[in-house]
């Protein structure tokens, strides 16, 4: 991040303030970028988990489904539900940190 300083008209204290402000802005921008990336990734996973749960539900409703296959699909459904719970708990934790 470039910081432009005119040493001819700026004193040492002003230059220090400008550098601290630039470093603070840089840190804040990095933090916001990380938060946005987490939100996008979480939303993408939520969509995939929802699709997985819907697919499992449709498969389990099939009367021609063999019992062995039903157990496997129920296992997949249980894993998807755990993923959903984790995503929701992380979302709640992120909301608590960022505040109202």
Q: Check residues 9 and 51 and name the one with the higher pLDDT.
A: 51
Residues 6+ apart with CB under 8 A from 22: 1, 3
Closest residue by Cα to residue 97 from 39, 50, 40: 39
Q: What is the pLDDT of residue 100?
A: 58
CA 9 to centroid of chain Cα atoms: 45
Q: What is the mean pLDDT of residues 61-77?
A: 95
Helices (H), the chain: 12-60, 67-98
pLDDT over threshold 90, residue 65: yes
Q: What is the mean pLDDT of residues 50-79?
A: 95
Q: How far is CA 95 from CA 3, 9, 30, in A?
A: 34, 45, 19
Residue written as tokens 């755990």? 82
Closest residue by Cα to residue 78 from 59, 52, 58, 47: 52
Q: pLDDT (tens digit, 9 = 90+) per residue, 18-34?
A: 899 999 999 999 999 99
pTM: 0.61
Residue 2 — very low, low, confident or very high, per pLDDT cuts 50/70/90?
Answer: confident
Q: What is the pLDDT of residue 7?
A: 81
Q: Check residues 11 and 94 and name the one with the higher pLDDT.
A: 11
């Amino acid at each position: 991040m470039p910081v432009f300083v005119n040493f001819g008209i700026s004193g040492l204290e002003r230059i220090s303030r400008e550098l601290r402000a630039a470093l603070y802005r840089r840190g804040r921008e990095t933090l916001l970028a990380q938060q946005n990336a987490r939100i996008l990734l979480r939303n993408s996973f939520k969509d995939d988990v929802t699709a997985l749960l819907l697919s499992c539900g449709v498969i389990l409703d099939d009367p021609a489904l063999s019992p062995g296959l039903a157990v496997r699909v129920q296992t997949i459904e249980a894993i998807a539900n755990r993923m959903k719970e984790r995503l929701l708990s992380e979302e709640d934790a992120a909301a608590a940190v960022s505040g109202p």
